[in-house]
Chain A
Amino acid sequence: MARRLRGNGNGSGNGNGHRTPGQRLAEVGEKVRGSQAWTSIFRPGSIFRKGYTDSPRNRSYVIMNSLLYHLHPVKVKRHAVKVSYTLCLGGLSFFLFIILTVTGIFLMFFYRPTAVSAWNDIRTLETSVSFGLLVRNMHRWAAHLMVLSVFLHMSRVFYHGAYKPPREFNWVIGVVLLTLTLLLSFTGYLLPWDQLSLWAVTVGTNMMGYTPVFGTQVKFALLGGVEIGTDTLLRWYVLHVLMLPFVIVIFMAVHFWRVRKDGGLSGPL
């Protein structure tokens, strides 16, 4: 196609070998769309590819040939796409996790996890960084929303009886994900290093100290000392930005994989 266009440009352009900017642009567009990079990213079925028409074949290709979309099967049960069935809660939990990752990475650029600088960094972020306040707000509210949506998702699944065979294993994974979500939220709670976080975490870790048999050791390991301080902050920071996200992503992958292996959504009721 590109070659044909070039020929046309010489033949029927304006007669003296010059092409209009529009023709050049079209030519460049053709070249880009014919390039290996373009055809590798936009696989058959992509609407960014020439010749996409709405056909069952292309609808299948959209899902099969996309890295992101092939989390989904090509087809799902009709009742499973009804918003009133799932209320989008599982998907929104995942979407909130993505928002939290993106906003969290932004926050990491401005934050040092030490008792001396943590609070000041947040203060500076809010007052002197473009969109700093907005992004921090989004991170905080998305975190609370994620706890809520994960909990509501669990309730939805229970009321649909979707934990019953063959989905028992995935239910257990889901409960682990709920626990990890709570832990992620709780570890993040300490990081602003204000009065709210310090004393909320004090209440929480004091309770963990009452774990039978090795309560003192649990508390010591969590705090990195006998009381909350810089070591605690570093420890919880690493848990919050690295370890727990890493673990939860693994569990989420298993969770999504099991949804498909167990035959998609349960029901209809």
Chain B
Amino acid sequence: MTEVPEHLLRRSKERRAALGLPVPGGPEAGAPGASAPAEASPAAAGDSEKIPPHLLARSQAQGEGQAQPAAATATAGAAPAGAATAVATAPPQAKGPEGHTQRLLTVVKAGSIQDVRATPTDKVHVWPHLLIGEFVACMAMSAFLLVFSALVNAPLLASANYNFTPNPSKAPWYFLGLQELLTMFHPMVAGVTIPGIGIFALMLAPFSDRNPSIKPEDRKFAIALFTLFIMFWAVLVIIGCFFRGPGFNFTFPWRDGVFFDL
């Protein structure tokens, strides 16, 4: 017989105690798994590994023949007190059509073991439905990049010269928003504090936005805030790229030209 796991034994003991049933291997029988006293009959041993007395009695009754159904209860009645209580509360010993008897071992609720989500989802094969799309997107991007690179050259200005500062000197375009802030704030605020807080706030988005819905109509505030955030940066970057001339002063690109290299 296989070893019953420790935690199942413990659970069964707790359950039996809660139902007011005698606990096998309980205080009167010592530690679980302890061998029953030698003089006790196998049916009375109270050890969970042994055949329960009422089943033994039933099989004995079967062996004696169908003609003596009363013998089963008689044998069961003869069992020691502990087992007798168990028989009394056991489910009625019904017999199947073939004379089979069945015993309900345990009822396991599905939810306690595995999370069954029966919601059907509409799925398609990655090949070809997704891979074709990815392939086309990659080819289109490659073609665009190739054509654009053939037509537009990357800037290469004069060799670096410490003694000549170009006017204006600009950061790469994605940092021009920060450089724009530099005209308004102390460098520590513009260059470290604000971008630091920005990155940190972005990371915290899922933890600060506890609204579980993903429907746009339910999250107007979040969408408005984020749109404001990216518009703020976009406007600053555009100003920095196109509306800043010599001395980083405000200009109009259609009046003074563009002071900007990518």
Contact = CB atoms under 8 A, between A and B. Distances in A.
Interface of A: 56, 59-60, 62-63, 69, 72-81, 83, 88, 91-92, 95-96, 99, 115, 119-120, 122-123, 126, 133-134, 136-142, 144-145, 147, 151, 154-155, 158-165, 167-168, 171-172, 175, 178-179, 182, 185-186, 189, 192-200, 202-204, 206-208, 210-212, 215, 227, 266-267, 269
A74 B175 CA distance: 41
Nearest to B181: A207
Interface of B: 121-131, 133-134, 137-138, 141-142, 145-146, 148-150, 152-162, 164-166, 169-175, 178-179, 182, 186-188, 190-192, 199, 202-203, 205-207, 209, 211-216, 219, 222-223, 226, 230, 261-262
A171 B206 contact: yes
Q: Most chain-B Cβ atoms within 10 A of its Cβ — which of A80, A203, A266?
A: A203
B262 A144 contact: yes
B166 to A, nearest CB: 5
B199 A175 contact: yes
A195 B126 contact: no
Contact of B124 (A75, A172, A206): A75
Nearest to A182: B174
Given A56-B125, A83-B133, 12 more contacts: A63-B127, A73-B126, A95-B137, A136-B154, A138-B146, A139-B154, A140-B154, A162-B214, A167-B206, A186-B175, A207-B182, A269-B216
A168 B209 CA distance: 10
A193 B149 contact: no
Given A63-B126, A159-B226, A168 B159 contact: no
Nearest 8 A/B pairs, CB to CB: A207-B191, A161-B214, A137-B149, A199-B169, A168-B206, A140-B154, A198-B160, A62-B127
B228 to A, nearest CB: 12
A175 to B, nearest CB: 5
Contacts of A74: 125-126
Chain B: interface secondary structure?
A: helix
Contact of B125 (A75, A137, A175, A202): A75
Contact of A141 (B148, B158, B160): B148
B226 to A, nearest CB: 5
Nearest to B148: A141
Nearest to B164: A195
A141 B213 contact: no
A59 B155 CA distance: 46
16 contacts: A76-B126, A76-B129, A76-B130, A77-B123, A79-B122, A95-B141, A137-B154, A141-B152, A142-B145, A161-B214, A163-B206, A164-B209, A182-B175, A200-B171, A203-B179, A267-B214
